[in-house]
Amino acid sequence: MQIRDKKDNESEDYILQENKKTKFGATFIAIILIIIIAVVAMTGVYFDYW
């Protein structure tokens, strides 16, 4: 998987492009994953698994 360079206008087969949608999507997914990990950890503490 490659990230498209702004200077490379010849190739169009890149999955990730460097634009606002890609940056927002990657940030959103990262935040959701962090929230899920925190919730799982808090659940383990609450039920005395850790």
Which stretches of the chain score pLDDT less than 50?
none
- Residue 22, classified by CB atoms within 10 Å of its CB into exposed (0-12), middle (13-18) or buried (19+), is middle
Helix (H, G, I), strand (E, B) or coil at 8: coil
User: How distant, in Å, are the alpha carbons of 21, 23, 37, 38 from that of 33?
Assistant: 18, 15, 6, 9
Q: What is the pLDDT of residue 40?
A: 94
Q: Considering all CA atoms of the chain, what is the largest pairwise distance in Å, rounded to the nearest integer?
A: 56
Torsion of CA 23, 28, 34, 35, to 10 degrees: 170
Q: What is the pLDDT of residue 10?
A: 60
